[in-house]
Structure 1
């Protein structure tokens, strides 16, 4: 049975390990090892994801199968360069929504996204924004089912490699 709760400080190491594994399994073959390592350290090292658990600007919701983290979503203030006509009112950003491969199709992703949408609304956001890798067609279809629309390109750095991401927004 999958359970959900907000992240706490003690979850940091396990959460970072899960996030590193998910990112590497999904995108690891796209990058030089040095670029991948630099990104993983920046995004999921001590000052990245684990360090944001106690930052009041962020909220991180986790999904557990027993005591194993199988998914998480991180919500916070928007840092994406959205086109002015796409950023309506107060904008929140969904920074990450990761689900382990063994949980794809099991409802973890939808539950986490529905939490993010509800939490952004409750926090007063008028728009929820995210970026998604241009060739991550599964994720783009997933977000589109919830009403997210593509509003432009975003250059996403992974080490020294610059990927094309798509900016997507949902009017809340």
Structure 2
């Protein structure tokens, strides 16, 4: 995928991040959730206010994957107290690698993951971690292939529905 370009997102990319987030979350999880839970989650988590706050947070970085002029995915990483759980200064959290279904199997996820790894290495992080839904075997295999191992579980809420995420970690140093 030589034509996939990665750019660091800014507040000017708010609508692009919103659109990718809503589309990919819906594509991935709509079949496993009620319409009400899905709509509530999308409204709350991809609202203009929430995405603007995330893009403006200095502890988070977003990177957009472009196929020519079309945005096809994004990466969100967190450090320090911006991390959703561990908040360990020696770690980088991969909070999201979202890729449109039209680009599954085209290495976009790998390119975004490589950007997360590069970011962690530039910041001299000791390890990376993430949470992945226990019923998403494709994503679990992807992270295992990239050297992640399960170390814990946590609850992820989609609307009223509580789902279990497997927490995975990769030691870098």
TM over 0.5: yes
The secondary structure found in structure 2 opposite 1:12 is helix
Q: Distance in 2 between matches of 1:171 and 1:149?
A: 9
| Structure 1 runs not aligned, ≥5 long | none
Q: Distance in 2 between matches of 1:156 and 1:111?
A: 26
**Corresponding residue for 2:104?**
104
**Corresponding residue for 1:20?**
22
**Corresponding residue for 1:51?**
53
Instruction: Tell whether the 8 Å contact from 2:133 to 2:164 is kept in structure 1 after alignment.
Output: yes
| Structure 2 runs not aligned, ≥5 long | none
Instruction: Tell whether the 8 Å contact from 1:12 to 1:51 is kept in structure 2 after alignment.
Output: no
Q: Distance in 1 between matches of 2:31 and 2:160?
A: 15
Q: How does 1:68-79 map to 2 (within 5 A)?
A: 68-77=70-79, 78-79=83-84
RMSD: 1.7
Instruction: Tell whether the 8 Å contact from 2:20 to 2:74 is kept in structure 1 after alignment.
Output: no
Rate the CA distance shift 1:67–1:50 in 2: closer, same or farther, 3 A. Answer: farther
Deviation string 1:36-82 (CA, Å, 9 cap, x unpaired) is 12211222112333432222111111111122210110001222259
Instruction: Tell whether the 8 Å contact from 1:120 to 1:128 is kept in structure 2 after alignment.
Output: yes
Q: How does 1:1-172 map to 2 (within 5 A)?
A: 1-77=3-79, 78-80=83-85, 90-172=90-172
- TM-score with structure 2 setting the length: 0.89
For structure 1, which segment, 41-50 or 160-169, has the greater mean C-alpha deviation from structure 2 after superposition?
41-50
- TM-score with structure 1 setting the length: 0.90
Q: Distance in 1 between matches of 2:59 and 2:86?
A: 18
Q: Distance in 2 between matches of 1:128 and 1:46?
A: 28
